[in-house]
Amino acid sequence: MNARDKRIRILNLQDQYCKKCGYSLDPYQYCIQYCKIGKELIKLNKKVFGVPLERKETPEEKWDKRCKQAVDLYERGMEYPVIAKQIGCHVSGLYRELKKRGLLKVP
């Protein structure tokens, strides 16, 4: 199957299955991990474009994880500057994101 045929196969699969799929409202990761058609799409995409089709985390999702980790570490007795170094961000960014989410606890 050449690249053109693979692209056509990808589009046909999306038209036939993905638009009617009950999981289409779920996060895209569901298709990648569990759906038979999603797995085939990933395999075809990898062959055509050379890279797997994966969903990247948005900055908001990254900060959600960092903030959750920061709250856990703060409750264990660590201070925010040390926490910021450990999770790999600037302390002012950590303060801003914690405050935005209502998680900032002032010592």
105 falls within a domain = no
Token duo for residue 97: 């994101």
Structural domain ending residue among the three candidates 16, 31, 49: 49
At 9, the pLDDT band (50, 70, 90 cuts) reads: confident
Provide the pLDDT for residue 41. 77
50 has pLDDT over 80: no
Whether the CB-CB separation of 13 and 37 falls below 8 Å is answered with yes
Task: State the virtual CA torsion across 70, 76, 80, 86 in degrees, nearest 10.
Answer: -60
Work out the percent of the chain whose per-residue pLDDT is above 90.
Answer: 41
Answer yes or no: do 8 and 28 share one domain: yes
Q: Determine the pLDDT at residue 43.
A: 79
Residue type for position 10: I
> CA–CA distance from 94 to each of 57, 89, 90, 106 (Å)?
18, 7, 6, 13
Overall domain count for the chain: 2
Band the pLDDT of 23: cuts 50, 70, 90: low
Q: Give the DSSP letter of residue 56.
A: P
In a domain, 106, yes or no: no
- What integer is the mean pLDDT of 26-46? 71
